[in-house]
Amino acid sequence: MRISVVGTGNVGRALAGAWARAGHEVVLGSRRPEDPELRGGPLPVRDVAAAVADAEVIVNATPGTASVALLSSVGADVLAGKTLLDVAVGFGEDWSLSHPVESLGEEIQRTFPALRVVKALCTVDSSVMVAPGSLEGPSTLFLSGDDAAAKRTVAALLRDLGWPADSLHDLGGIATARGQEHFALLFIGIAQSLGSYAFNIRVVPPAED
């Protein structure tokens, strides 16, 4: 599958590398593709518009406060019909959420109605995103989105990262992305108490009668 990972921070590079190792055709999209640090890496780096143009799946791994503007610079017609996996969460300077009511995932979907947005992976650290087996036991990863086919595509890509099918929990439509993004506040508290970002949570259903 042709995947464009937009964003070249820790999250973007971790995901891009993992999917490339799984056999996908991956390109990194950057606002600074000429950066020597990026050029020295193992994956091709292009400007965002060029990276997105031929992609079947776009991964938004940009800062959540800049995501919509960056995608707008590409153009709605280029994005139309593609699946976008939105990993981002936006924070203000005081570490408050930049999207306290409407989630970033919802804003992207509203701004680009022909884009098929799926929210996932924003509840774990980049190290856990690509190595769920590094944890002591099974844990849960959430998906939110309005398009069932797009969610199936994303679920397959998550399995390529090592997430078992039974770890994936479909929350429903893109409006449920609010819960995923708001978890960031609890995530920070847990990370501070543990002294580590390498953890996850698990949804434990009630015992059967």
pLDDT digits (tens, 9 = 90+) for 37-84: 777 678 899 999 999 999 999 999 999 999 999 999 999 999 999 999
**pLDDT of 95:** 87
Q: How much is the pLDDT for 89?
A: 97
φ/ψ of residue 6, rounded to 5: -90, 115
The CA–CA distances, whole Å, from 140 to 18, 22, 173 equal 19, 21, 18
Residue 208 domain flag: no
**Rounded average pLDDT over 154-178:** 98
pLDDT at 61: 97
Mean per-residue pLDDT for 11-35? 92
Average the pLDDT over 190-206 and give the result: 96
In a domain, 60, yes or no: yes
Confidence bin at 209 (pLDDT 50/70/90): confident
In a domain, 177, yes or no: yes
Mean pLDDT of 164-189: 97
Average pLDDT, the chain: 95
Cα angle, residue 108 at apex, residues 96 and 16 outer, rounded to 5°: 85
Question: pLDDT tens for residues 100-133?
Answer: 999 999 999 999 999 999 999 999 999 999 999 9
Q: Provide the percentage of residues in the chain whose pLDDT is more than 70.
A: 99
Give me Rg for the CA atoms of the chain: 16
Query: What pLDDT is recorded for position 104?
Result: 97
Q: What is the CATH number of the domain that holds 46?
A: 3.40.50.720
Total number of domains in the chain: 1
> What amino acid occupies position 30?
S
79 touches 57 (CB < 8 A): no
Are 178 and 109 a contacting pair, CB within 8 Å?
no
State residue 123's pLDDT score: 98
- Write down the pLDDT at residue 31: 85
- Give domain status of residue 205, yes or no: no
Q: What is the pLDDT of residue 118?
A: 98
- In whole angstroms, give the CA distance from residue 8 to residue 117: 20
Q: Which domain holds residue 165?
A: 2-194
pLDDT at 35 over 90: no
Q: What is the pLDDT of residue 42?
A: 83
- C-alpha dihedral sign at 110, 111, 114, 120: negative
